[in-house]
Chains A and B, each alone.
Chain A
């Protein structure tokens, strides 16, 4: 495979993934509103298109046409930069998520991930740690106390939960003895899903994912009763939409990461015993990945509309005094599994 072909394949993969993510975000917002409506015994959006299915496009158009208001006291360059960083972080993490097995197309071996790099999992952790900048810059540059408080809360929260997230990933990496996402998925063949082998790590990662994406019950950075809108109080029009987009894109990336690390990725247990044709197997496996992703996204929305918000001190003591020791315990558990039971 020459460098030109490699570039073309990569660009095509990037375009496909980007389109898929944007479409998923649009309909995720729709489903968030629909599911919240069902939970609260309402009907939800039903005016635009059949069953309100065109609502996301109406929303995007509305946001695009709105006036972009920048406060005079704000720091203009950083105020404009913050939403861009948020979007960059949200989209570039998708590069390493494997959505299916390696396929052979036109004589080329194509892995169904944009980039198959050795440091995949560390790359995700590194890029997500940049997300703090978007929120801190947004909060500081707006020149408003609500924005600043939201930004500070958010960065403190993200830094705290990043630690338990990193330690939970440690257990997965130990078992797969590789940092490559594809190798991690392959290590979970059969029913050796990490969610079953190391349930404590699964729970700590899940909780940390909720905190990292600033979703309820941990949405302190934008707690409406106290902070108006949090770090994006002073944003309007497309810049606000960028933060909104980034939040939902982050939800998808967290779910995709949980699927890859703990739920066996694209694998369907024991599908090889059915002796299906290769094409059908691959299609089913990609379908399985999407199904697991959808279930987790539903879980995210379900939790948001069922559990009340934590208080800030509760959030911090949960992060440092419960989740962090639990993730350390998980590493010890995995080490025992490897040393004593030779998994």
Chain B
């Protein structure tokens, strides 16, 4: 077992253990805190794979933005409206069936896909330049459409908030 494997298994352990606690803990705040560790573990694996830009963006967008908004909502409603927000187990049977079917699909995909190994060398000095080129040339339509989607969501949120 070399250093690379040790680091990989460390991050994988962080991701899986914290993800387990996200699902099982009853307190939503603890759940959110464990989600933070999960995102960190995933970011670590991205760095290990040489996708440094993706890792940093993962932290900025998910940890710095989305999760903090989530936490905000939970904390505010919890303290001000005085409702205890706790997660419980309901609809166990349908949930088990759905999860079983979904993980079956995932595992069958995992087994049946022909994984291509594109060299073990890390990408060169700058990963952002190539990403930018791809986004502005090859995937420009998707990029612009996503921008419009976000704009629509923004306007929608503002309209709902005004009511």
Seen from chain A, the residues whose Cβ lies within 8 Å of a Cβ on chain B are 3, 75, 78, 117-119, 122-123, 125-127, 129-130, 132-133, 136, 140, 148, 152, 155, 159, 162, 178-179
Min CB distance, A307 to chain B, in Å? 29
Measured in the bound complex, the distance between the Cα atoms of B98 and A116 in whole Å is 47
Residues of B within 8 A of A179 (CB): 128
Decide if A178 touches B56 in the complex (CB within 8 Å).
no
With contacts A122-B56, A148-B75, A152-B76 known, what are 8 further pairs, Cβ within 8 A? A75-B29, A119-B56, A122-B53, A123-B56, A130-B59, A130-B64, A133-B68, A136-B71
How many of B's residues come within 8 Å of A, CB to CB?
A: 24
Interface of A, secondary structure class, is helix
5 tightest A-B CB contacts, nearest first: A129-B64, A126-B59, A122-B56, A140-B75, A126-B60
Measured in the bound complex, the distance between the Cα atoms of B36 and A179 in whole Å is 25
Decide if A126 touches B33 in the complex (CB within 8 Å).
no
Seen from chain B, the residues whose Cβ lies within 8 Å of a Cβ on chain A are 3, 29, 33, 36, 52-53, 55-57, 59-60, 63-65, 68, 71-72, 75-76, 79, 125-128
Decide if A136 touches B60 in the complex (CB within 8 Å).
no
Contact among B52, B57, B63, B64 for A117, CB-based, below 8 A:
B52
Contact among A129, A140, A152 for B59, CB-based, below 8 A:
A129
Min CB distance, B133 to chain A, in Å? 13
Cβ-closest chain B residue relative to A121: B56
Residues of A within 8 A of B127 (CB): 118
Cβ-closest chain A residue relative to B129: A177
Cβ-closest chain B residue relative to A125: B60
Residues of B within 8 A of A3 (CB): 3
Residues of B within 8 A of A178 (CB): 126
Contact among B52, B57, B60, B68 for A155, CB-based, below 8 A:
B68
Decide if A136 touches B75 in the complex (CB within 8 Å).
yes
Min CB distance, A145 to chain B, in Å? 8
Measured in the bound complex, the distance between the Cα atoms of B63 and A123 in whole Å is 13
Cβ-closest chain B residue relative to A143: B79
Min CB distance, B155 to chain A, in Å? 16
Cβ-closest chain B residue relative to A77: B30
Decide if B59 touches A155 in the complex (CB within 8 Å).
no
Q: A125-B60, A126-B60 are in contact. Are A132 and B68 (CB under 8 A)?
A: yes
Min CB distance, A167 to chain B, in Å? 13
Interface centre among A117, A126, A159, by most B CB within 10 Å?
A126
Decide if A129 touches B56 in the complex (CB within 8 Å).
no
Min CB distance, A128 to chain B, in Å? 8
Residues of B within 8 A of A125 (CB): 56, 60
Min CB distance, A230 to chain B, in Å? 16
Decide if B79 touches A129 in the complex (CB within 8 Å).
no
Residues of A within 8 A of B126 (CB): 118, 178
Min CB distance, A78 to chain B, in Å? 7
Cβ-closest chain A residue relative to B40: A130
Decide if A119 touches B52 in the complex (CB within 8 Å).
yes
Cβ-closest chain A residue relative to B3: A3
Measured in the bound complex, the distance between the Cα atoms of B55 and A159 in whole Å is 20
